[in-house]
Structure 1
Amino acid sequence: MRRKVLEERTRVTNALETLRHQLGLALGAARNAHSEAEAELTKLRLEQLVLSVGLDHAEDDPRLAEYRGDPAMNAVRSELEDVRSRFYSGWADGPDQLRALVASAAPGPAGRPPGEWLGKLGTFDGTRPPELWRIGEATVDASNVGREHGTTLSFDVAVPLLDESHLSITSAPKTRPTVDALVEGLLMRVLSTFAPGAVKVHLWDVGQLTAVLPNFYALSRTSAVTVHDPTRLVDLLDELAGHIRRIHAYTLQAGYPSLRAMREATGKRVEPWRIAVLYGNGEELATEHLRALKRVASGALAAGISLVLVDVPTVLGGSVETISLLDDRRAVTSMTGPNVEVRLDPALPSGQVANAASRLAEAIVTKQGGPRSFADLLPTEFGRESSARELRAPVGFHEGEPVEVVIGDATPHALIGGPSGSGKTNFLYALLGSLAARYSPDELALYLLDFKEGVSFAGLAPGKKDESWLPHARLVGVNVNTDREFGLALLRFLSDELRRRSAAAKEFEVTNIAELREQDPDGHWPRIVAVIDEFQYLFAERDSVTGMATALLEDLARRGRSQGIHLILASQDIAGIEAFWGKPAVFEQCTLRIAMPKARRVLAEGNQAAVSAPRWHAVVNHESGVAHGNQLAHIPDASSKDTFPVLQRQLWQRYATHARPRLFDGAVAPRLEDSPAFVACEPGVERPRALVGQAIEVTDNAHGVEMASAPGRNLAVMGSNTAEALAVLDAATRSLARQYEAGAVEFALGCALDSCLAEVRALADDLASCGHKADMVTADGIPSLVAEHVDRMSEQDKPRFLVLYGVDAVLPALERKEPGRPSALEHLRTLLKQGPVQELHVLGWWRGVARLKDTLGFGGTDEIGAWVALDVQGSELAAFCPGQVVHWSPRPGRALFFDRSTHASPEVTIPFHRPEVTDA
């Protein structure tokens, strides 16, 4: 037993010894690994520190004093010297390669000595600028590459700028002149490379008012250099941000990620490059300014903007190169690293810079020329642009550069404002002319409406003196200040077109007009631009017209953009349009704002650019009127004699196959003979129509009453206006006569008014000349005429029309009753009630509503299926329009028409012009 215990103890003791040995080995290995890690970490820290101060300066740098003699330090230096030696042994041709690289990437003024270019005008106007811009040169020790000890090799140093990178410059004490010389040299190289005007420079200095780069004074009087208020950095940042947003929207809509990509793809430079130089003082910018600066920096390069920051301590997003001055001659750059000192180029001769700036300024002024003419807005070739994506056209000039208006998905609708005499009409002509010259009538359709009393757009339709018209115009409406219904009709037409286009888009499974045109190339889908001048008249009353117009306009403003329907609303003052109170949708969609001088409420609140705008100028803003979107443009004279008409005639001759526009002139009564409805009247129609007036619609339609064999198919004219009553009955009778073969219809005309006898007799003669039987009686013969038609009603063998003038004048005679016989009034009631079924219809004129009611008696108004009200108040017409409140106030040259078989409510009509009998 004892032996077993001893053996067991020995085994346990041996196991513990083995475990103790293994633990010792593990702990030793851990101590060795820890020591090695500490040594490696020390080496890495030393290596990082040596690299930060430079290998050549490590021996003397106080930060490394404690490591002198340390084996680790010696090992690090030895290793780094070995790496450098191996690098330079393979870099013998490096300086020459760098020099060749800079020469290739920085051609001409970008990299050549100033004596070769300073004072000469640049000519480069291509799509890709130089990639590098020289600032100085650097040297390296040639002994490291196998050359004799003490020799050096030099190479040019250049930095990227335009389209490539921003630049951050940090000064050293007392180096402001050197910084100015560096910035001035870079800017002069850029300005001397490009054609005058292709680059714009913005200068801001927190510590200066006007003395920023004084040698550029001559350029500061042009658009090439702008010196900004040192207390208003926010204005500069807002301007740059607005430019970035505008360019971003423009390039994205065109399908390009940046302005540079667009230039390279299209081969055209559509925007100047911009360089913004910001001089700080080494202190942090205000938080809001710093935030705005970083936002600008993030999108600037894609929009062709490069920032040059001097002593502005911040970290910008994107590509940024740095230059840190060591003294007034030396610097280090992020392009060459901290171990290579760059000797900055000496300052350009001050006098030569000033002279060069003057030459550039003179060239810019010469290039911009004096005031541009309307002809300068027009392209060299007409009708070459496509409207599939947008409409784009210059409307004026700013310092010689064209200012464009863009109408598309981003800016679908426009609001134009300006007081009387501010040039609003001239602007509209400049816009219409520029658009019409670039887009064919198949690409652009114009609907033009002018509510004010005038003929602003009348010349765009054919006239007596000029037979030409603007081929793009589908509708021209003038003098419609009292015809608000016509504006409503236009909105209804556009709403119907919107539904038609939306249905087509749904059929082809697309979402916008560009895709629809692509999927349906044979369809006719031009962009539609509706211009409504003085549109506030459309909402002048608190009535149904205003309500319906507001709803339609809101819908068009919201949904029209996707289907290529655009609104241009112009007004002297939009401040008082009550219809839009609480409904900002229309104005929110009008992201394009055009403010004429002294315009109010067009631009955003606080944007006072229009207040100071000079005459013949306009503020063009694609950013809903926010100040950073302002573009001031001089608008050339486009509305004077022999200016726009010359263009119009050229376009008319070019597009001769396009139909003339519909002209609606509210100041001119339409002629019956010119009405398409009257021209279309011909014998043989199943249901003849009596035309009573022109409809207030986009298409040239006429109101008419179907004279079918049905109860109530009679026509009553109510009102005391003799001329208009004669016109309505004259048009109705003549139009009916055209729809029957000669002798196939009979007319009987009864005139109760001596003042109308000549006109009625002339009508009877005209009917007879057309081969129709046309009897005429005066007041005394009307009772007998009525009785005769009642007696012949059962023997009727052809349609008959009884046309009565001034029925109320013979009511006493009609009421006279002989014993045992019905009165003529009873006969007339019989004709009104039973005649239409037997193709005998009454067309009568009563000079008052009450007299018509007396004529009808207690039978009600069912026998009058259609009526035309002249100088009659709407409240008097309730009996003839059951269940409705008639909103109607008489106005010259207009009437109210209602046909209960076709109308839900009365409509305004325009009686046709009836020539005086003596005119013949």
Structure 2
Amino acid sequence: MGRLAPAYRQAVAAHHAARAHLDAARHALRAVPVPAAPPGVGELVGRLNEVGAALAGATPTDTAVAIRLGEASTPEGAFPALVPLGGGRHLAIDTDARDPRVAGLLRSLVLRLLAAAPAGEVRVVGIDTAASTATFGPLRPLVDVGVLAPPATTDAEVTALLDAAERHVRTARRAPGGGLLLVVAAGAPPRELARLAALTHAGAQGGVCVLAAGHPPRSAGEPPPSLASTTVVRMTERYAYVGDPPGTPFSDDDGGLAAPVRLDDDPAAASVRALAERLAAAARLADARRFAELLPDRRWAEPAGSGLRTAVGRSGRTPVSVSFDDTTPHWLVGGGDVGATASFLAAVLHGLVARYAPAQLQLYLLGLPDGVSFAEFGPTGHDQSWLPHARAIGIESDREYAVSVLRELRRELRRRATALKRHGVTRFADLPTDPPLPRIVTVFDGFDVLLAGHDGAARESATLLAELVRKGGACGVHLVLAGRGATGVEALGASGAALVGRVALSGAGGVLDPHNQAAEALAAGTAAVNVAGGAAGADTVVRLPDADAAAEALTRLRRELWQARPAGTRPPAVFRGYENARIEEDATYSGLRPGGRRPLALVGRTVDVHVSSALFIMDTTPGRHLGVVGASAAGADLLRAAALSLARQHLPGECRFLIAPLVAGADPVAGETTAALTAAGHRVDQLDATGLRDQLRTLADPAAPAPAGRTFLVAFGMDGASTVLDPADPRTARRGRDDLRAVLRHGPGRGVHLLGWWRGANRLADDVGEADDGHGVACLVTLDVPADELERHLGLRDVAYPPCLDRALLVDRHDRRVRLIVPFARSAHDLAGAD
């Protein structure tokens, strides 16, 4: 019984002497009172009580610890009955948990072991095929806090549980530090009894402890499989005997407890709830403490010349680090548990930013849909601080935004490669630039989403990532590719082999070598860190601190670093994929002033690495007009934003706005636009379809004097004017479309620009002509129009982006550029006012 054996043997020897003395005395003196206790026995009982109390409070380590199961009775007194558990020691009870005393004993031992162990060090799984979860029902609060897994009650569930336990044993032998797995069987599972028994032979390095009730089974048949290093408890009607059969006071080898044991009562429900709450609170506190212990004592004190390094967790008591250097330039991270991914990435990022100054480290952080959010690293509505190392942050990013970041990284990679060649060196650490270039760490969480499919974005992403993986490490550009299963790595082809750093989280698949099963036995909150490309035998099991538990401390760290940021540090560009763009919140819009030579029409935010403003220059070139195409009502909002941005660049009286609400659905937006422009002091005329026809006739007349100042014709639903644009004028034989096309071609030179919304590409083509070469409407914003319609009606080729809610394409026919944008929409306040 481990380190308790000498104390037990001493107790047994003393009881031998005492029992022999008493038996002789009772036989000879039956008629006289029982004599006093032999000298020394009372003192021994007192010492046993003291030792028992001390051992019961011990903290479990890699060796067995003493856990109380009841009170041993002797004629001279009582003392705690302790059994060794953990460290390769197990317990078997010859009666299953249908006996209420056994069920209570199992529950008591589970609670005592959990209470004695550091928070998070013990994980409990249960088997209850006989009582159908009745044994574990009172422990439900432990299930709720994730300490106890829902018990296995069917043959299939038992098989799966034992599969996981065996994987845990294999992993623990290769990479200790994964904690203790406590397997509690309320009854011996007949079909899997041999496998359960085999777990007891795993030894101290197996990281497993078995509590088996109903063993050996009382049914007839072959002898049951033997249990190794197991203390046996045998039940009688009134007592339990530990290590000795009933009716036999002591075993021949003195290995049993020479006293009957009265088992402790079943833990009260209130005690279970209290322990569950304490364990949850202790786990949070321990995780917060563990996170703090991983951070350096001094901020920004480490050099990054030869590489970056930071601790991410512990294996046992030993910190485990990941490095970004020539040996492990990149890391592949996989796991099905979003919480585990968040904890690992938080440990990496906070450790890095605490160790290295912004001049030595820059971060690009992208969380694709369903990935970890990096919102806390940038300014938010309730906290305007931001991490000074961050250059770009994507929150629920579009794949197109991720591609723009990859393009930016490739440009930087090639710039650095040129510098390496110019200085005649091959390693980033040897690059003699002044000041030194910072290392760049880019995190893509959800990168497998980025590579999914066979469309243009997936193909370009795979090409860019493969180049960065191959060449990035030598240039100080490092990647962390994280995904739910990391299944996208095969899209990188041979370059995937360069991802020698691998981290398998709970539920991971496809991260390690197919022959490496270490990930299958990982408990929640742990990870297998591998620096050999996932090869078997190179894993270190790491316990990760919980980022949620340390959230307050990490917030304080980020604010501390923000306050220490160097002068002139700019906030990161933040792209929020779920968020509508508001022109009132756009920095370019806020900076617009009257007096510019070429007014800018703002239409949205570009999906690029800097989330720049999407705009169109209204100069005097023929065709400098804006055409919005699509059935979505967002077209009206977009015209409103463009008109407001143009108005902001003119003093009152310098320009005139002709507002034409031609479809009923646009009336509220047209009304708001008219009110805003009027309030700003501009001249505003509202037109119906007939008024629009008259204005086009006047603006198209080359003999008419040019309008004073600029004129902006804002048409909400140009297709609604077809009834007046189709017929020819009886006097001149000119149709309204003829005048419209004349205005489109010659208007910019006379200061006249059209901002029009058409609800279909075919209707726009009818008005401006299918052969439009950019002299009609040079700037197009397409909303929900399929690519084939754009090509068929407007001649736009190679536009592969499918229509998507809250996204649009900005096409400038003059500079032949196509950009994905988030179009400006009205704010919630405006929408409420419209309602």
Whether the TM-score (by the shorter chain) exceeds 0.5 is yes
1:813 to 724, 727, 749: 724
CA distance in 1 between counterparts of 2:469 and 2:489 reads 17
CA distance in 2 between counterparts of 1:488 and 1:553 reads 9
Point out the more displaced range, 702-711 or 378-387: 702-711
1:521 to 415, 425, 434: 434
Are the aligned partners of 1:835 and 1:841 in contact in 2 as well (CA < 8 Å)? Answer: yes
* Partner SS state of residue 574, structure 2: strand
Match of 1:458 in 2: 375
Residue 707 of structure 1: CA displacement?
1.4
Aligned-partner residue type, residue 391 of structure 1: L
Residue 758 of structure 1: CA displacement?
2.9
Cα distance change on mapping 1:420 and 1:617 into 2, 3 Å:
closer
Match of 2:528 in 1: 619
Over aligned residues, Cα RMSD in angstroms? 2.8
Match of 1:864 in 2: 777
Match of 1:506 in 2: 421
Are the aligned partners of 1:546 and 1:579 in contact in 2 as well (CA < 8 Å)? Answer: no
Residue 798 of structure 1: CA displacement?
2.4
- The correspondence of residues 466-545 of structure 1 with structure 2, limited to 5 A, is 466-480=383-397, 483-516=398-431, 519-523=432-436, 525-545=437-457
CA distance in 2 between counterparts of 1:239 and 1:758 reads 69
Are the aligned partners of 1:408 and 1:561 in contact in 2 as well (CA < 8 Å)? Answer: yes
Residue 680 of structure 1: CA displacement?
3.5
1:440 to 347, 350, 357: 357
Aligned-partner residue type, residue 589 of structure 1: A
CA distance in 1 between counterparts of 2:339 and 2:615 reads 44
CA deviation profile, 1:821-842 (whole Å, cap 9, x unmatched): 3232221121112212333221
Match of 1:552 in 2: 464
CA deviation profile, 1:612-631 (whole Å, cap 9, x unmatched): 12221111111111123211
Cα distance change on mapping 1:661 and 1:789 into 2, 3 Å:
same
2:605 matched to 1:694?
yes
2:740 matched to 1:740?
no
Cα distance change on mapping 1:219 and 1:754 into 2, 3 Å:
closer
- The correspondence of residues 167-246 of structure 1 with structure 2, limited to 5 A, is none
Are the aligned partners of 1:861 and 1:880 in contact in 2 as well (CA < 8 Å)? Answer: no
CA distance in 2 between counterparts of 1:804 and 1:541 reads 40
CA distance in 2 between counterparts of 1:533 and 1:885 reads 29
Aligned-partner residue type, residue 660 of structure 1: P
Are the aligned partners of 2:772 and 2:794 in contact in 1 as well (CA < 8 Å)? Answer: no
- The correspondence of residues 776-795 of structure 1 with structure 2, limited to 5 A, is 776-791=686-701, 794-795=705-706
Return structure 1 stretches of 4+ with deviation > 6 angstroms.
217-222
Point out the more displaced range, 571-580 or 643-652: 571-580
Are the aligned partners of 2:407 and 2:464 in contact in 1 as well (CA < 8 Å)? Answer: yes
Cα distance change on mapping 1:538 and 1:500 into 2, 3 Å:
same
Point out the more displaced range, 428-437 or 879-888: 879-888
CA distance in 2 between counterparts of 1:781 and 1:686 reads 30
- The correspondence of residues 448-847 of structure 1 with structure 2, limited to 5 A, is 448-453=365-370, 456-480=373-397, 483-516=398-431, 519-523=432-436, 525-575=437-487, 579-580=491-492, 583-585=493-495, 587-640=496-549, 641-655=551-565, 657=567, 658-722=569-633, 724-791=634-701, 794-821=705-732, 822-847=734-759
5+ residue gaps, structure 2: 1-84, 90-116, 118-169, 176-284
CA distance in 2 between counterparts of 1:611 and 1:599 reads 8
CA distance in 2 between counterparts of 1:876 and 1:700 reads 28
CA distance in 2 between counterparts of 1:422 and 1:731 reads 40
* Partner SS state of residue 546, structure 1: helix
Residue 718 of structure 1: CA displacement?
0.7
Match of 1:895 in 2: 808
CA deviation profile, 1:816-862 (whole Å, cap 9, x unmatched): 33312323222112111221233322111111111112212465454
CA deviation profile, 1:75-122 (whole Å, cap 9, x unmatched): xxxxxxxxxxxxxxxxxxxxxxxxxxxxxxxxxxxxxxxxxxxxxxxx
CA distance in 2 between counterparts of 1:878 and 1:799 reads 33
Are the aligned partners of 1:752 and 1:782 in contact in 2 as well (CA < 8 Å)? Answer: no
2:331 matched to 1:410?
no
Residue 691 of structure 1: CA displacement?
1.6
Aligned-partner residue type, residue 617 of structure 1: T
CA distance in 1 between counterparts of 2:796 and 2:643 reads 31
Q: TM-score, normalised by structure 1?
A: 0.57
* Partner SS state of residue 513, structure 2: coil
CA distance in 1 between counterparts of 2:815 and 2:453 reads 27
* Partner SS state of residue 350, structure 2: helix
Are the aligned partners of 1:759 and 1:917 in contact in 2 as well (CA < 8 Å)? Answer: no
Match of 1:378 in 2: 295
* Partner SS state of residue 901, structure 1: coil
Cα distance change on mapping 1:779 and 1:420 into 2, 3 Å:
farther
Aligned-partner residue type, residue 573 of structure 1: G
Higher helix share: 1
Are the aligned partners of 1:861 and 1:879 in contact in 2 as well (CA < 8 Å)? Answer: no
Are the aligned partners of 2:657 and 2:714 in contact in 1 as well (CA < 8 Å)? Answer: yes
Residue 778 of structure 1: CA displacement?
2.9
Are the aligned partners of 1:447 and 1:476 in contact in 2 as well (CA < 8 Å)? Answer: yes
Residue 632 of structure 1: CA displacement?
1.0
CA deviation profile, 1:145-193 (whole Å, cap 9, x unmatched): xxxxxxxxxxxxxxxxxxxxxxxxxxxxxxxxxxxxxxxxxxxxxxxxx
CA distance in 1 between counterparts of 2:286 and 2:373 reads 28
Cα distance change on mapping 1:767 and 1:413 into 2, 3 Å:
same
Point out the more displaced range, 483-492 or 495-504: 495-504
* Partner SS state of residue 584, structure 1: helix
Are the aligned partners of 1:530 and 1:567 in contact in 2 as well (CA < 8 Å)? Answer: yes
CA deviation profile, 1:722-747 (whole Å, cap 9, x unmatched): 1x112221222222222333332222
Match of 1:875 in 2: 788
CA deviation profile, 1:845-886 (whole Å, cap 9, x unmatched): 111111112212465454121101111111100146647232
Cα distance change on mapping 1:638 and 1:521 into 2, 3 Å:
same
2:821 matched to 1:909?
yes
Are the aligned partners of 1:897 and 1:907 in contact in 2 as well (CA < 8 Å)? Answer: yes
* Partner SS state of residue 487, structure 2: coil
Residue 455 of structure 1: CA displacement?
6.2
5+ residue gaps, structure 1: 1-216, 223-234, 241-368
CA deviation profile, 1:860-916 (whole Å, cap 9, x unmatched): 454121101111111100146647232132111011111012234x32111013125
Are the aligned partners of 1:875 and 1:885 in contact in 2 as well (CA < 8 Å)? Answer: no
Aligned-partner residue type, residue 649 of structure 2: Q
Residue 720 of structure 1: CA displacement?
1.0
Aligned-partner residue type, residue 782 of structure 1: L
In the alignment of these two chains, the number of paired residues is 553
Match of 2:208 in 1: none
Cα distance change on mapping 1:676 and 1:880 into 2, 3 Å:
farther
Are the aligned partners of 2:469 and 2:479 in contact in 1 as well (CA < 8 Å)? Answer: yes
Residue 404 of structure 1: CA displacement?
0.6
Match of 2:163 in 1: none
* Partner SS state of residue 795, structure 1: coil
* Partner SS state of residue 456, structure 1: coil
Larger Rg: 1
Match of 1:284 in 2: none
* Partner SS state of residue 787, structure 1: helix
Q: TM-score, normalised by structure 2?
A: 0.63
Are the aligned partners of 1:422 and 1:615 in contact in 2 as well (CA < 8 Å)? Answer: no
Aligned-partner residue type, residue 461 of structure 1: G
Aligned-partner residue type, residue 709 of structure 1: T
